[in-house]
Structure 1
């Protein structure tokens, strides 16, 4: 009887723990072929000369893929790395290694689902099945108290019903070992230059260095609970609220850690310490679920309410450029944009503020801001990013239900002593 080989196509699930496709493949197949494909589509250059994926986000991705390879190797396996269209790369590998089936996690945003459909068609031409798994949400689709088509458009109602009537599934086990076919060419991790990007320069004012990968993500999760100061917000200079968010979103976005891992870590922490002080973290997880399910429910129609004709006048473009570079003259807005450009990360509250300022004060098309965030954010996730921007712009399907974002926060509460207040200039690289 011939051996069964399953190709595991990694996308935004770069982990070995709580990863259903990896464990299921280990159970069902004699051999596993783990693959990650750097799709040139995500590194294309727009008409205005800006990349779809910026250098900081790309570096975080490279670090995450490298860590995934290391963790698979520790289990006795290997990760094949390729640069190219997955619809061409995966069928070629499937034929080369006599693959019987391909596993992957289902996506919800239209660009990602279009890529999946292209891969599925190409594999079907070889009489191979692309099996879809659900692994990016806190609550499994099958455990929701309503079918996808009936999910409440109101976040408040969604939250209430899900918390009352649904349960979070336990984390899935980790394979004890990974057996791969004899791999003749695993492929090298590409450089930023090969992806068409320059090496980013780290700003000395950066307090937290985000490094990609499951190993770093799990360390960050441990640190969050080990440091009690990161759980309860405190007041800083001028009475400003100091950002004590978990900062787990970069690892969640690439699936270096799972939503369930975070949730059950919260439960374990609260039970061990007899406290309930991590509600904001649970709320953040619910918002991520909400936007993913909205994309699943409405698809491209999520933005159907946007009938605005983009204003491409020179005046609006100038305002947009000032916003991008942090030269609006509004200290908190400028500091947030300086920090975004320097680090690839700003707090959720800062994102709501700069988005609201661009859309309502400058009256610039929200889609330009969303695309800029897509380039810059190391924790970019299609549903969360575009969903948030549509929400701030008054679009989507529940634009008025924004009490959780607290956009009316008084200016007196904003920390205007940030080290990023002064105009950010690139740091010269020592030769």
Structure 2
């Protein structure tokens, strides 16, 4: 069937519609094409928009290049143990898009998706209406940048941006910078500003950290050898709760290294606990900085200890023996208030994450926090799937390393379901409609 252009009076029917044109959406398209299943990718911006426009200039992957394994497009460069920078990631993804050649409509906003009693999906978009037998949601889980209401009370002269908007130190006015949140993005942005000579104030949280290298190898390589990245969410000690965990902070910058907030403190960065309020010209923090640092270091040492145990069990020979991180700095006291004007802070970067927004999807598949409930991307509603979410099935599900296997698994399910639909049409002795009148 040749798809026809949608208009306001008729709905174009496509067997499968993919919402989102990132690595997940194109991975799904890759396998759908292999199975000759007609489909369409709807992308509200452009392909790989987030990777191209929502990363800072000094961004690098925190996972080594050898883990980049998109469908039909593994990393083939000359630095498998290195970490692609922003430009290299975009080049890698552009090459993937060129290989896939997905049937994509860019600049198309999906307004709503709903399902009737017969299982037919209606998709209202900015270019017209569609119907589909099956929907794959590949729009990710990071939709609305979180900025707390206290931000409204900060002085107007303070520049405020979310981490998704940060590019480099030059975009900010002269003066100190407060980074709120020390997760993977916040810690790396704080480092970037620190290396550029800016005075940085960092409000920490309970983010864990991990070593970059340990006993002669990248920790990612050790964990891969140990089978961690093949562990499904169903067998993880934390179960599905692992999906809400904050990513460990580390960096691939300059060949990869640890991020040690304590070391930054010895070099002039000011660290604080969780920021909770702004009152009468002062920022207010919880007295939990030391707890945050100790907990992060405990995670760091625990991961290394598990590597030590595995090395011993497997009889692996290494040039380096076990070691334990020892703090290079400790806070003399817990500072719970900071006068904003006296500090010289002129900018605030909010790096406290995102919240999901699937308000356009009318389906009873969400929990109380707005996250979809599923089993490896398969929801309880027939014909509705999710792909590319963190820990959809394994650690790599939301990354270049695991989306391929998840996509292949889902397309097998989709192919089987499509066969059932075709058999149903044949049993009824009718030809399934491809173009249906809109309501």
Instruction: Please state which structure has a larger fraction of its residues in helix.
Output: 1
TM-score, normalised to structure 2's length? 0.22
TM-score, normalised to structure 1's length? 0.22
Instruction: Please state which structure has a larger fraction of its residues in strand.
Output: 2
